[in-house]
Amino acid sequence: MAKVVRKSFALDDPELQKKHPGDRPDGVFLKDVDAMHIFMGLIQGKRTENEAFISERIDLTNMNRYIEEKNLSEDEFKYTLFHIIVTAGLKTFVLRPKLNRFFANKKLYQRRELTAAFVVKKRFHDESEEGLAVIKADVDDTSETIHEKLRCHIYPVKKGHGDKTSDAMNILNTLPPFILKIVAAVLRFLAERGRVPKSLIASDPSWSSIFLTNLGSIKLKAGYHHLANWGTNSAFIVVGEKKMRPVFNDDGSFEMRDTLDIGFTLDERIADGYYFSKSVRLLKTLLENPWLLDRPLKEEIEY
């Protein structure tokens, strides 16, 4: 039998769903990875010790037109910049599968699923609660199917239900402090081995492929946001506020255009700088040419 080289898997690769020694329920153990990345995982064991931050500015000229066209036939749940960014992020992760890796217990894994997670503010008010939402992507998804998934997840959270993680945390919060400390220690132990009950983390962004936050919706600029040692999330995307800024042409002239700043925090152990650079370039291409998102996530594009 031929040896399976387990370096990285496309999301629709059947090998990704097979079980082998060393695997976790949520990830395939990657054995044939370059020594440097394995060694980094051994000596720099925490995700927060391996953060790389990248920022990018997006010209929104095409995206504004794309959203306007989409909303001509959408009355109930309007398309927004955030919806398009979620879709572009997911397509980037499908076409750049190393981004969908994570380190746990000093080992590198390829995630079996592709998910995008975000916080939903139930109302724009100081006292309003926040909910958590996670959507799962398939390789055949398009901007329209992702938009429908977002609608199905955002509406329930805004109405006060559908957020299983917050419900679980509310129950744990009723326990006596010493019991809560024991529970937390057990959960950390289980988390390293991928054995936390799925009911507790079903909508926890810290276990997602991509954790996004839309700071522009609350009038804040994009900037750095840390990763977390809890969970497996290796990529955080911060979306800033839309703003008119000068966009320079090759000849040095410029035009004032609607722009958006985006910040990325990545676990640098999951890939190298060149891979990250190409991945960011792909995401920028998708956001500035959003009609590409009408095609399935798995469909390759030039960038």
* Residue 156 pLDDT: 73
The answer as to whether 198 is a domain residue is no
In a domain, 3, yes or no: no
Residue 4, in any domain of the structure: no
pLDDT score recorded for residue 6: 52
Collect all residues with Cβ–Cβ distance below 8 Å to 271 and sequence separation of at least 6: 98, 99, 101, 279
- For residue range 250-261, list pLDDT tens digits in order: 888 989 999 999
- Please check whether residue 242 lies inside any domain of the structure: yes
Residue 171 counted as domain residue: no
Residue 85 lies in a domain: yes
What's the sign of the alpha-carbon dihedral 228, 231, 236, 238? negative
Q: How confident is the model at residue 3 (pLDDT cuts 50, 70, 90)?
A: very low
What is the pLDDT, as a whole number, of residue 194?
Answer: 82
Asked if the model's pLDDT at residue 63 lies above 90, the reply is yes
Percent of the chain scoring above 90 in pLDDT = 53
Cα–Cα dist 70/72, whole Å: 6
- Print the domain residue range for 247: 27-163+203-294
Per residue in 157-197, pLDDT tens? 766 555 555 566 666 667 788 887 888 888 888 888 888 88
Establish if 43 belongs to a structural domain.
yes
Strand partners, 261: 57
On the question of pLDDT at 1 being above 50, the answer is no
Structural domains counted in the chain = 1
Domain harbouring 145, CATH code: 3.30.559.10
Q: Is the pLDDT reported for residue 29 higher than 70?
A: yes
